[in-house]
Amino acid sequence: MGKEMDVRFKKFGPISFTATTKVNDFVDYLEKGKVAGTRCKKCGKKYFPPRADCSNCLGSDMEWFEIDGTGKLISYSTLHYAPSGFEQDLPYTIALLDFGEYKVFGRVSKDIKEDELKIGMEMKVKAVKLPNGQLSYEFVKP
Amino acid sequence: MREKVAIVGVGQSAFVRNYPGSIKELAFEAFREALQDAGLSAKDIDASIICSAPEYDKQRSPAGVIAEYLGLTPKPTFYLESICSSSSMGVRVAYSLIESGLHKIVAVIGFQKMSEISSAESQERMGRGADIQWESPFGTMMPAYYAMYAKAYMEKYGLTLDDLALVRVKSATYGQLNDRAVYRKPVTLEMFKDPENLMSRPVATPLRVGDCCANADGSSCVILAKREEAKAITDKPVWILGLGAASEPVNLTGRDLFTGLSVAIRAAEEAYKMAGVGPKDIKVAEVHDCFTIAELMAYENLGFCKPGEAKELIRNKETYKEGRIPVNVDGGLLSKGHPIGATGGSQIRTIVLQLRGEAGPMQVPGEPDIGLVHNIGGVGLYGNVTILGR
């Protein structure tokens, strides 16, 4: 028998469709309350979502960095229909934040009403543990 | 010489909600019409390209069974997909097969039987239409992505919900004239304001049910031929003057433009350059209006107006049949329907009929000589622009 498959990525998000990836450590950072991306040690390019390989210089020597500070809200939408498995979460808001060197896609915290959102506003990314035990992150006010 | 490859035959099935037959039978309907249009028989076809979005198919490798049913064996056949732009990409590849000298006559057959799988299965697949590792876990779907573009666009350019609705009103105007359209009823602005009306129901803010295209089952077929063969086959060849294609990161984190589709801008530039024409030369266009916002962004990305001016075009009815640049006068994806793999071929068919003067009640006046097709895969993931002329 070989080594057991590392399937930590199953824990990411309300529903994960991916079991394993070379950036499984992302889930460990979430567990510690941190949202992290990767940075190429060779050329310095920052990636979010994190990547194991750098398409800029073809290097695979990456280090983790923590997402901190605030990003600008590029756009958002509140869903009133959902794909299978997400119906109980409705309505929920997806959004994209711009941190300059990288962007982060995710959901807006349920604590924020849609009419409180404004394109261009500053938001923070926060790691969260979901009621079903899954690990995720959401966008909150700074 | 730009007249190298021509379209000599086009066909399309009716676009319907639930096609009462198999995918082979569905593909046959468009193929037969295209063959009859060209005056050819199946044995004249040197190669076939079969296009669909595979997540809706139960059949593995549909090209084989379809080529067999259509009598296209033993000639080469293969499957090609770029989601919603599959059959435009098929036409691009057919052009290169002919221009390279490998084949003289190639058929591009697009089909989609979206009712092949249950609506629960379809919902589940829709959720995986994004980057499944980093986006789908949040519960995303196609309308929500286009909704984010709509939100960003409205904020930047002052576009209103009524402007979006006007696009649907236009498409419904022409859907009523198209006997192949799945949605043939009129749509009014008032329906979008009536909370009891389905059209006004929110899907993903700011998009409502009425802003979203109709799913459908359907097929399309485009037959292309080399210059000499085309001239022998028909006295009304429609030439492929320009082809453009591009791609963008799936994940929105990899993108920079949210008030337009970069793939459309790039593909249009390439197609205009190859054709040696500009936006002002286009007399009739088919654009990928999977959502109302998508049509408005297309006006700008194709150069029919400047960024931010799309609302003036729709408000002033400049994209109606009698307007400056008629767009989607066959009902578009919104009313004609969007059977994913068949859509590009159907758009091309519409422009071919327009250039031949055979579009019936949908015919644009003034004998259009140059037309354009804008066909997008996913949320601006793949983009194809095709320029046709007679």
Determine phi and psi for A133, rounding to 5 degrees: 90, -10
Q: CA quadruple B89, B362, B27, B18: dihedral positive or negative?
A: positive
Q: What average pLDDT does the segment B192-217 reach?
A: 96
Strand partners, A106: A95
Cβ-defined contact of B126 to A83 (cutoff 8 Å): yes
pLDDT tens for residues B142-180? 999 999 999 999 999 999 999 999 999 999 999 999 999
> What is the distance in angstroms between the Cα of A34 and the nearest Cα belonging to chain B?
16
Residue B74 has pLDDT above 60, yes or no: yes
- Extract the runs of DSSP E, i.e. beta strands, from A19-134: 36-40, 46-47, 62-66, 71-79, 92-98, 103-108, 122-129
| Minimum CA–CA partner of B155 in chain A | A119
Interface size, chain A vs chain B, as Cβ–Cβ contacts under 8 Å: 116
**pLDDT classification of B122: cutoffs 50, 70, 90:** confident
The pLDDT of residue B124: 75
Residue of chain B nearest A14, judged by CA positions: B137
Q: How confident is the model at residue B68 (pLDDT cuts 50, 70, 90)?
A: very high
In terms of residue numbers, what domain contains B41?
A: 5-118+218-233
pLDDT of res. B235: 96
Residue B10 — pLDDT band, cuts 50, 70, 90? very high
As a whole-number percent, the residues of chain B with pLDDT over 70 amount to: 99
Distance CA B89, CA B51 (A): 9
Q: Is residue B230 very low, low, confident or very high in pLDDT (cuts 50, 70, 90)?
A: very high
Predicted local confidence at residue B321, as pLDDT: 97
The residue in chain B having the minimum alpha-carbon distance to the alpha carbon of residue A12 is B137
Nearest to B134 among A75, A105, A114 (CB): A105
pLDDT (mean) for A55-73: 97
Domain assignment of residue B14, yes or no = yes
**Residue A17: predicted pLDDT:** 93
Average pLDDT for B258-267: 98
Q: What is the mean pLDDT of residues B107-136?
A: 86
Q: Do B144 and A13 touch (CB under 8 A)?
A: no
Contact check, Cβ <8 Å, A85/B205: no
Mean pLDDT over the full length of chain B: 96
B338 catalytic per annotation: yes
Q: Which of A44-48, A84-88, B147-151, B218-222 has the lowest mean pLDDT?
A: A84-88
Domain ranges in chain A are 8-66, 71-140
pTM value is 0.97
Could you tell me if residue B161 is inside a domain? no
pLDDT tens figures, B22-50: 999 999 999 999 999 999 999 999 999 99
pLDDT for res A112: 98
Residue A102 tokens read as 């990288």
Please count the structural domains in chain B: 1
pLDDT-derived band of residue B17, with 50, 70 and 90 as boundaries?
Answer: very high
Give CA angle at B330 (B328, B332), nearest 5°.
50
Choice among B212, B221, B305, B338 that is catalytic: B338
Q: What mean pLDDT, rounded, does chain A reach?
A: 96
Known active-site residue B221: no
Inter-chain residue contact B141 with A79, CB threshold 8 Å: yes
Residues of A near B (Cβ–Cβ under 8 Å) read 9, 12-18, 21, 48-49, 74-86, 89, 92, 94-96, 102-107, 114, 119, 136
| Residue B227 CB coordination number (10 Å) | 17
For residue B38, tell me if it sits in a domain: yes
Q: Label residue B92 by pLDDT band (50, 70, 90).
A: very high
Q: Tell me: the pLDDT tens digits for B333-376? A: 999 999 999 999 999 999 999 999 999 999 999 999 999 999 99
Q: Which of A12, A76, A82 is closest, CB to CB, to B148?
A: A76
Report if residue B36 sits inside a domain: yes
Q: Which helix (H) or strand (E) holds B204?
A: strand B202-204
Q: In this model, does residue B55 exceed pLDDT 90? A: no
CA B335/CA B320 separation, integer angstroms: 15
**Chain B closest-CA separation from residue A64 CA (Å):** 17
pLDDT of A2 = 57
The C-alpha angle B356, B357, B359, rounded to 5 degrees, equals 105
CATH code assigned at B225:
3.40.47.10
Orientation of helix B86-99 relative to helix B343-356, angle to 10°: 70
User: For B282-341, how does the pLDDT look when each residue is reduced to its tens digit (9 = 90+)?
Assistant: 999 999 999 999 999 999 999 999 999 999 999 999 999 999 999 999 999 999 999 999
Beta-carbon separation of A18 and B148 below 8 A: no
Q: Domain for residue B277, yes or no? A: no
The token pair at B374 is: 């804008």
Q: Between chains, do B137 and A86 touch, taking CB under 8 Å as contact? A: no
Q: Is residue B17 domain-resident?
A: yes
